[in-house]
Structure formats: C-alpha cells, structure tokens
C-alpha cells in the first residue's frame, strides 16, 4: 500500500500545567519544576522535529491535537502519533483495520534521571511500549515504511456489547468493569461460553470485588501485569481476565478469578450493583451501567495495524 497522505496526531503542547495563570506554582521542589519544564520542552522539540522530517518527504500531511480528534479518521493512508502510548491509544479509538499507525515516543524515560531523582520523586517519563520510534530513529523508520521495507503487525482489540448492543469503541489495552466509586464493592457474576454454540465453558462465578479487568496481549504489560497477571505475546488472540481484589472467594471459584478468554469464546458478565461503569483503555472513555445490565466481552473487534518496536514483538513471556 502506497503511503501518500498522513495524519500527525499530537499530544498537546501544554500537557504539564505546572504553572497556574498567576505564575506561582504550588510545587516547591525546584528539581520537580525543572523536570516538568524539561518534559514540556522535550515534547515540544520532538513535535517540531517530526514536522521538519515530514516536510522533506513526498507525502501530504496535516497535524491535529489529540484533544481535537472527535470523529473517525478517514481519507489518510497512515496515522503518526507523537506523544506516548496514551496518544496511540486515543488514535486507536478512531481507526479501523484499514489505516496503520506509527507511534513516536516524544519523551522517553531516561534511566540516569530516574536513578538520580529516586530519593525525591518518580522521574519516569513515557514508557512508549507500543511506540516504534523516537526522534533518534524516526526518519529511518518512516523511510522504511514509505519504501515498503516494513509492514505493520495485526494487534487484537476487545469488542464489548452492553445489553446486547455493540459499543462503538474497541479497547486496545484493556477494559475495567467496576463501580464508579473505587471504595464501593462491585457485585457481578460471569461465565465463559463458546461463540458458535453458546455452550458454557465455565460455571457461573459470583463475585464481590473491586471489579473485573480484561486485557489484550498488547495491554498485558500495563495494569494487568501490575496486578500480578501474565505478560502475553502482543500477537496473542487470547484475552486475559482478572477479578480485582475478590472478597473471600469460595474454594471452588478461587481458581476462576484469573484466566483467559480464547478467540472462539466470549465472556458474559451480569451486573448486580446499583451503578457501574465500563472503562475502555483508562478513564477517558466510560459507559455507565445499572443493576441488571449485561456485558459481553470478546476479541471480535477489528485488528489494529501497528508498526511495533522490536521489544514488543519478542521477549514476551506467557502463561505457557
């Protein structure tokens, strides 16, 4: 596929509002202020650099802030995101399986900075797990794409139905089903069934917990890993689920609090709390639930075509 028309999706240039309008910051540690100022400057320079590279290439392109992205993306051959995984995730919610995406990590974490500041604050920057490029290699990777020397990978997404109605947004990383107040118990049950014959593959599991998380292979290195889950190959078609902080599960159900939904299966969730939410890829996309609502989760969503970094394609450990 020839790449002739691009959309450059940008993390906002003022993502770190560390100085209020009156110019007096509540942050008193000068090292923290310098760190935040550096993050702003590094990201701004990365945006400028990427635009300068694109001006030299035989492509048509236009920039847009991710905050201004309101409608599905059409009429472009590729999307380039400049920011981190969050910007790429936001782009994925507006792209079908016909448009590939390249992520540029504009502000990578600097190991020496994290070590030097570890006794004062967390100086981590952007992880960029799904971002194949930085300013160091952006032009080379872009040329490889434009001249057909590299192709994108198909990455699974999660399809969600609420009360049998498909939600318009697919999750690239994960979904969380939980009460909107994190201090409130979530009450629900779930079971795994076959897609074709509707046969149950597991018994009904009744839960009182902090909620239920389901992730893709791409999202298995995020919240799922932090909660003790498995890292999955990014190419995996399985979905991984985990009940968060279950309250006194019975011995017969304990082994079912963490498991996998295979490509020929789906998960049905029945919601038994007064209020609930389905969070998609973090907190920015949320659908509300009420007592008695049902949620169906599967991997039936269209793939996302992503130009992935080498570390995302290899070195993954899994449940096997």
Q: Are 61 and 82 in contact (CB under 8 A)?
A: no
Rounded Cα–Cα distance for residues 101 and 152 (Å): 8
Q: Are 185 and 208 in contact (CB under 8 A)?
A: yes
Rounded Cα–Cα distance for residues 176 and 189 (Å): 14
Rounded Cα–Cα distance for residues 55 and 48 (Å): 11
Per-residue pLDDT tens digits for 262-306: 999 999 999 999 999 999 999 889 999 999 999 999 999 999 999
Domain 5-151: what homologous superfamily? Answer: Probable inorganic polyphosphate/atp-NAD kinase; domain 1 (3.40.50.10330)
Using DSSP, state whether 177 is helix, strand or coil: strand
- Per-position pLDDT tens, the chain of length 320: 689 999 999 998 765 555 555 555 667 777 888 888 889 899 999 999 999 999 999 999 999 999 999 999 999 999 999 999 999 999 999 999 999 999 999 999 999 999 999 998 899 999 899 999 999 999 999 999 999 999 999 999 999 999 999 999 999 999 999 999 999 999 999 999 987 766 667 789 999 999 999 999 999 999 999 999 999 999 999 999 999 999 976 666 788 999 999 999 999 999 999 999 999 999 889 999 999 999 999 999 999 999 999 877 764 444 54
Provide the pLDDT for residue 15. 53
Provide the pLDDT for residue 54. 98
Q: What is the CATH number that goes with domain 159-302? A: 2.60.200.30
Q: Are 96 and 66 in contact (CB under 8 A)?
A: no
Q: Which residues fall within 8 angstroms of residue 111, CB to CB, at 6 or more apart?
A: none
Where residue 260 falls (left for φ over 0; alpha for ψ -120 to 50; beta otherwise) is: beta
Q: Are 220 and 213 in contact (CB under 8 A)?
A: no
HSE value, Cβ hemisphere, 13 Å, CA-based, for 316: 24
Which residues of the chain form CATH 3.40.50.10330? 5-151
Which residues of the chain form CATH 2.60.200.30? 159-302
Rounded Cα–Cα distance for residues 21 and 19 (Å): 7
Provide the pLDDT for residue 196. 72
30-55 helix and 138-146 helix, angle to the nearest 10 degrees: 30
């Amino acid at each position: 596929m020839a790449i002739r028309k691009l959309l450059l999706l940008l993390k906002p240039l003022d993502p770190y509002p560390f100085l209020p309008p009156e110019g007096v910051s509540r942050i008193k540690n000068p090292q923290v202020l310098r760190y935040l100022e550096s993050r702003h400057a590094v990201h701004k320079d990365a945006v400028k650099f990427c635009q300068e590279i694109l001006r030299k290439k035989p492509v048509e392109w236009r920039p847009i802030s991710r905050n201004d992205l309101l409608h599905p993306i059409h009429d472009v051959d590729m999307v380039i995101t400049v920011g981190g995984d969050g910007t790429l995730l936001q782009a994925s919610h507006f792209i079908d399986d016909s448009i590939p995406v390249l992520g540029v990590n504009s502000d990578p974490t600097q190991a020496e900075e994290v070590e030097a500041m570890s006794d004062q604050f967390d100086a981590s920057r952007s992880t960029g797990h799904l971002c194949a490029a930085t300013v160091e290699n952006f032009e080379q990777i872009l040329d490889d794409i434009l001249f057909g020397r590299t192709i994108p990978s198909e990455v699974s997404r999660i399809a969600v139905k609420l009360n049998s109605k498909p939600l318009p947004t697919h999750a690239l990383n994960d979904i969380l089903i939980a009460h909107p107040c994190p201090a409130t118990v979530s009450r629900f049950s779930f079971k795994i069934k076959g897609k074709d014959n509707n046969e149950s593959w597991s018994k009904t599991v009744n839960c009182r917990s902090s909620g239920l998380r389901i992730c893709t292979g791409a999202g298995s290195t995020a919240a799922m890993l932090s909660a003790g889950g498995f890292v999955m190959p990014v190419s995996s078609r399985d979905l991984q689920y985990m009940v968060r902080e279950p309250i006194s599960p019975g011995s017969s159900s304990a082994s079912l609090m963490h498991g996998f939904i295979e490509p020929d299966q789906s998960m049905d969730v029945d919601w038994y709390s007064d209020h609930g939410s389905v969070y998609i890829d973090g907190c920015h996309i949320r659908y509300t639930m009420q007592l008695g609502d049902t949620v169906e989760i599967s991997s039936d969503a269209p793939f996302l075509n992503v130009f992935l970094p080498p570390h995302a394609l290899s070195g993954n450990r899994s449940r096997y």
